[in-house]
Structures are given as C-alpha cells and as structure tokens.
C-alpha cells in the first residue's frame, strides 16, 4: 500500500446505531493499515459511546442531530486530517470534505450490488482505493473487563442458569415491527424459560399476558455488555434489523435476525448469525435504495392494510425453530427463508 496517513477522520452521521456498527470493519481496517495514525470518528450519540474503549479509535467526536454539516466543518477546521472517509453525503457534507483538498473517500454507496453486505462493501471500496488491505473482519465492539463483570452479575440476577433467549422487540421504524412477539414469548415459555425482553423502544409491543422477564432499563454500553454476557452463556438475541441486534452480534452473542423491508443478503449479519427473510419475493423492496421504498417511511405496505406484510410473513414457529437450532436444541425446520451471510 503506497499511501500512508497520519491523521484519519471517519465520518458516520447516517443516524443509526446499526449504521455505526456497519462502519466498524472499515474503521478497524483503516487502523490495521495505518497503525501509527491518529484515527478520529465523528458520529452521533448514543452510538458514539460504543467506541469509548476501542483501541483503534484515538478520539470520538459527537455531532448534534440536524447540525451534521456544521459538525463536519468544525471538525475539519479544528484538526485538519490528511484522510477523510465518510459514509455520509447529505446536506453538502461530501462537497464540504472534497473542497478541502485532502485525500478523501466520500461515496461509500457507489454502485452497490444487491447481494453485497453493506459492511463488506465499505471495506471493499477502501481496498479498491488502496487504503486498506482486503481482508474483512466482522464488526466488533470492545468492552472493559469491569463492564463485563457487572453484566455477568446482572444476567445472573435475572436468569440464574441456562442459555437465555433475549427478545429485542423495539423497532425505531414502524416498517420493521414484527407483530408476533407475544406468540413467540408464549412458545418459548412453554418449551423452557420465559424469554428476557429488552426494555424501551417506542414501538415495543404489549405482551397480552405472554410470560416475559423484562430486563432493567440501562444505557447502551451496559446493554452491549449484557448481550456479551448472554453470548458467554450460549444464549441468543432475536430482533428485527435494528441497532441493538447489530450491537449484540458485535459483542459476540448469537443472533436471529427478522428481516422484512431490508434484504438480508444486503443488510444481514455476519456468520454465525441466522437471518430470516419475510416475503423474499416482494417486488417493492429496493435493496440498494431502501429509503426510496414505497413502504419505508410510513410503513405503508401496498400488500397489506394490517402492516408490513413481510414482517408478518415471518411466523413465530419459524423463529422458535431457528432459536432452538442456534442454542443447540434442535427444532423443526423453518418455513421462512433463511439467509446466511457469506463467510
């Protein structure tokens, strides 16, 4: 690799915790390729907290929502980098970076294939630019030993033994809501222990009497540590294509992902994650332009007046069977389409 850099700025202001998780392989690949460089990441809270103890990241800078361009300008002025990598182009951010004249990569969304996972695509683009070696490593979030010890104790308090199943029912967008949570919770309780449930999330369902064990409300890093503790116990985290599920995978927990409006081949998690895709043949899905899908912003599904048909299509029995297989208890074959990310 001919080019070496001393001060690298990564900009990820797409807005989601999951978006930040997907850029972590690129951040870590840049660190490996330029080990002596200072590497700053400009992103939003609360995802920024996930980088707090990351040894690859020299400094985390936070941007206020709706003031992203101003934050980029301020950071470029405060400490001019010699390389900028940005996932974010809106509001003239890409032009602002390019106008400074330093080496930059500002179009990480160029010509994406439908079936290339976003995180892999980022690394492939940086490799094609000669900025990183080609090898891909999945997203990983560093936790301190103290955080892990606290999480082990917390988990023991709510689930003293066994391999816990954790439900993450909240979905930031209505189009990702799964309507069958109470049925899954009841099936899990009948076959073993009631599942643990992550608190909060504006779209979390009522449980209609289904037996669940709510986890105590907590901050994002503590939730990440709790997911890691679940992973050490051989447990599994299940939820739609959301930031918390990506965080769970990035700290080592097994996951079962419920993919509806997003295509698992493009947005799915890395092995050993098991992703289930609802209505894989929906012609309204736009894997490389999800924000332009007719259903995306208002969950207005042309196929159903009752809500996103693709999410409803993932039957609780299929999820239950997938969970049983992930935690090693066998289980019947699933009806939903199962997609594994390429290894």
Q: Contact residues for ligand SF4 (CB under 6 A)?
A: 175, 260-261, 279, 282, 284-285, 293, 295, 301-303, 308-310
Compare residues 255 and 293 and give the one whose CB is closer to ligand SF4.
Answer: 293
Between CA 62 and CA 304 the distance in angstroms is 40
Between CA 169 and CA 205 the distance in angstroms is 7
Between CA 25 and CA 120 the distance in angstroms is 8
Closest distance to ligand SF4 from the beta carbon of 312 (Å)? 9
Contact status, residue 299 vs residue 310, Cβ threshold 8 Å: no
CB atoms within 10 A of CB 150: 16
Closest distance to ligand SF4 from the beta carbon of 296 (Å)? 7
Closest distance to ligand SF4 from the beta carbon of 111 (Å)? 22
Closest distance to ligand SF4 from the beta carbon of 293 (Å)? 6
Compare residues 102 and 337 and give the one whose CB is closer to ligand SF4.
Answer: 337
Compare residues 182 and 240 and give the one whose CB is closer to ligand SF4.
Answer: 240
Closest distance to ligand SF4 from the beta carbon of 255 (Å)? 21
Quickly tell me which residue has 């208002």 as its tokens.
Answer: 298
Task: Report which of 303, 271, 269, 272 is spatially closest to residue 285, judged by C-alpha positions.
Answer: 303
Between CA 242 and CA 331 the distance in angstroms is 26
Compare residues 228 and 301 and give the one whose CB is closer to ligand SF4.
Answer: 301
Compare residues 120 and 285 and give the one whose CB is closer to ligand SF4.
Answer: 285
Between CA 238 and CA 270 the distance in angstroms is 14
- The two three-digit tokens of residue 304, written as one number: 């159903």
């Amino acid at each position: 690799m001919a080019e070496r850099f001393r001060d690298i700025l990564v900009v990820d202001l797409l807005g989601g915790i999951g978006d930040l998780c997907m850029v972590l392989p690129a951040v870590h690949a840049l660190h490996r390729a330029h080990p002596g460089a200072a590497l700053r990441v400009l992103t939003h809270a609360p995802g920024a907290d996930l980088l707090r103890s990351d040894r690859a990241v020299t400094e985390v800078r936070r941007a206020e929502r709706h003031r992203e361009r101003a934050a980029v300008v301020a950071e470029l002025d405060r400490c001019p980098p010699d390389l900028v990598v940005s996932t974010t182009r809106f509001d003239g951010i890409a032009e602002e970076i390019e106008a400074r004249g330093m080496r930059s990569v500002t179009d990480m969304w160029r010509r994406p294939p439908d079936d290339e996972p976003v995180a892999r695509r980022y690394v492939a683009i940086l490799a094609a630019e000669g900025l990183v070696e080609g090898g891909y490593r999945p997203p990983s979030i560093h936790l301190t030993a103290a955080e892990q010890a606290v999480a082990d104790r917390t988990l023991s308090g709510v689930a003293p033994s066994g391999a816990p199943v954790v439900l993450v029912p909240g979905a930031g967008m209505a189009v990702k809501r799964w309507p069958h949570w109470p049925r899954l919770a009841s099936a899990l309780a009948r076959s073993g222990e009631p599942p643990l449930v992550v608190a909060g999330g504006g779209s979390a369902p009522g449980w209609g009497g289904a037996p669940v064990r709510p986890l105590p409300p907590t901050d994002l890093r503590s939730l990440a540590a709790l997911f890691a503790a679940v992973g050490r116990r051989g447990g599994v985290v299940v939820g739609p294509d959301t930031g918390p599920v990506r965080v769970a995978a990035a700290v080592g927990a097994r996951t079962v992902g419920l993919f509806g409006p997003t295509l698992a081949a493009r947005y799915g998690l890395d092995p050993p994650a098991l992703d289930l895709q609802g209505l894989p043949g929906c012609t309204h899905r736009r894997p490389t332009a999800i924000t332009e899908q007719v259903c995306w912003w208002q969950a207005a599904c042309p196929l159903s007046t009752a809500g996103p048909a693709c999410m409803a299509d993932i039957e609780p029995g299929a999820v239950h069977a997938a969970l049983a297989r992930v935690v090693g208890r066998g289980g019947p074959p699933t009806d939903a389409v199962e997609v594994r990310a390429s290894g």
